[in-house]
Amino acid sequence: MEIVMCFVIGFLFMAAVYLMLSKSLLRVIIGTGLLSHGAHLLILTMGGLGGSAPPVVSPGVTDYADPLPQALILTAIVISFGVTAFFLVLAYRSYQELETDNMNLMRGTEDHD
């Protein structure tokens, strides 16, 4: 299962980098969201996907899930949701002011494409 997760994480990172290098501000925001999802899956995979019992230590239980990566990912999901909401509001406001989401036109350089 870890091999499949490695390919999924690699695909998410690849798609995130591709979107973050585009000229559209909305694509950059979607790319940062994909990058954070890839990082969450990476932390979860590196923490181990095994463990059949819940993370409750009791006598006789030796194979239990590690709760630390899950707690870190839950915190990171909340933070990335807040950052994404802030980025979307900032992009909407800049679109209202500049009437474009093209990064080159926002910078003031001419777009010849």
The alpha carbon dihedral of 32, 30, 86, 9 has a sign of: negative
Tell me the per-residue pLDDT of 25-82, one tens digit each, with 9 for 90 and over: 999 999 999 999 999 999 988 887 776 666 677 787 777 777 888 889 999 999 999 9
pTM score: 0.81
Q: Is residue 58 part of a domain?
A: no
Q: Is residue 56 part of a domain?
A: no
Range(s) of the domain holding residue 16: 2-48+66-98
What total of structural domains would you count in the chain? 1
Burial class for 16, CB neighbours closer than 10 Å (0-12, 13-18, 19+)? buried
Q: Is residue 90 part of a domain?
A: yes
Q: Is residue 29 part of a domain?
A: yes
